[in-house]
Amino acid sequence: MKTIELTGITASDGSLTITGTKSVTGFIERIDYDYSNAATGAVLTVTTSGQAVSAPVMIKTGAGTADVSYFPRSLANKSTDASAFTNVAEKIYLANESLKLVVASAGDTKGIRLLIYVSNE
């Protein structure tokens, strides 16, 4: 299991962008939001980075003021027409990719920390 830590301090407008420094391969198991002192209502957007296409991992609007764990999943696609199933979710796979966190509305100079756990291939 690998742990990716994305940590930073927001700007005066409550924004922050952090791109992970190492690429990993494996499945995202869990994301921990380690609340420090961000404002209630922060928006956390996690995407992949480093490939031709940036893929969404998780968008959390209205993040609160407590530590919490998330288990992001992606809807599986049908082989016949690539449309998404509505009831089949799978772990998100990273193929030699880094992760990027974009934060909005978190307040002036507030601490943000995500721990992202990625299983081995």
User: What integer pLDDT is reported at residue 121 of this predicted model?
Assistant: 63
Query: Residue ranges of the chain with pLDDT lower than 70?
Result: 121
Helix (H, G, I), strand (E, B) or coil at 4: strand
Rounded alpha-carbon distances, angstroms, from residue 19 to 47, 64, 80, 89, 116: 9, 22, 35, 26, 13
Tokens of 116: 């992202």
User: What integer pLDDT is reported at residue 53 of this predicted model?
Assistant: 79
Task: Give domain limits for the chain.
Answer: 2-74+87-118
Q: Which CATH class is domain 2-74+87-118?
A: mainly beta
